[in-house]
Amino acid sequence: MLKKSKLEKKGSPAWMTTYSDMVTLLLTFFVLLYSFSSIDADKWQRLVVAFTGDTSIFEQKSELHINQQQAGLDEITQLQQQLKDFQELYEKLKAYVESSELDTKILLNKTDNEIQIRFTDNVLFDSGKANLKDEAVEILSKITVAIRTYEQSIQMIRIEGHTDNVPINTAEFPSNWELSTARAVTVLKFLIQNQNLSPEMLSAVGYGEYHNIAGNDTAEGRAKNRRVDFVIARSADKNTAQ
C-alpha cells in the first residue's frame, strides 16, 4: 500500500510539460497565421500609416472611391436618359401614326426594351411585289425622322418580312422566302441609301409564311400575316452597342 501511494504522488512525466508547451506554441502560431490571412484591409492600411506616417494611401483610396461613385452615378444618369428618349421615340411615332390616320394600318407596341412597328398588308408593297409604293416612301421618311432624333437610345433595328401561305412561284420570287426577304432588304436599303441611317444599326430577315400571327384559312387572317415589322431594340449602353 505504501509503494502504491508513493507512485501516485509522482504526477505526470516531465516530457509531458514540454509537449504541452510545444502544442500551445503551435496553436498560437496557427492562430497568428489565420489572423494574418483574414486581416481587414482598412486596419492593415492604418497600421502601415502608424509605422510610416505616409497618409497617401488613404488619399488614393478616397479618390478611387469618389471616382467609382461618380462612374456609377454617370451610368445611372445615362440609363435614365436612354429610357426617357426611348419613351419619347414611341410617343413621337404614335403621334405621327394617329395624326396621319394610319392607326389601322400601322400598329405600335412597346415594352421596356423594344418598340415594334407593324406595317400591315399592303401599306408598303403591292401584292407579290418588293418595290416600295410611293406612299410607303413618305411614311418611311417620316418615321425615320423620329428614329434619327433618338438614335442614341437605339441599339438595333431588325426589319422582318412576312407573307401568308399562298404559294408564289415567279422568275423573281420562286417562293415566299425570297419575297419576304426581298421586301425586308428593300426597306433596309431605302433607310441606308435614302435616309442615311447607319448600316451598323440595321438588319433584315425574311420569315416567309412561318411566323404567322393569324390563321391563313380566311382572307382577313392572310391579310394580317402579310406584313413588315420593325423591331427597335433599346440600347442600355450606347458604347457597348457600337
Residue 101 has, within 13 A of its CA and on its CB side, a CA count of 0
Digits of tens for pLDDT over the chain (242 positions)?
545 555 555 556 666 667 777 777 777 766 666 666 655 666 666 655 665 656 665 666 666 666 666 676 777 888 888 899 999 999 999 999 999 999 999 999 999 899 999 999 999 999 999 999 999 999 999 999 999 999 989 999 999 999 999 999 999 999 999 999 999 999 999 999 999 999 999 999 999 999 999 999 999 999 999 999 999 999 875 443 33
Name the region of 197 (left: φ>0; alpha: ψ -120 to 50; beta: rest).
Answer: beta
Q: Against a cut of 0.75, is the pTM above it?
A: no
Encode pLDDT of 66-102 as tens digits. 666 667 677 788 888 889 999 999 999 999 999 999 9
Distant-in-sequence, close-in-space partners of 171: CB < 8 Å, separation ≥ 6: none
- All structural domains of the chain: 87-241 (3.30.1330.60)
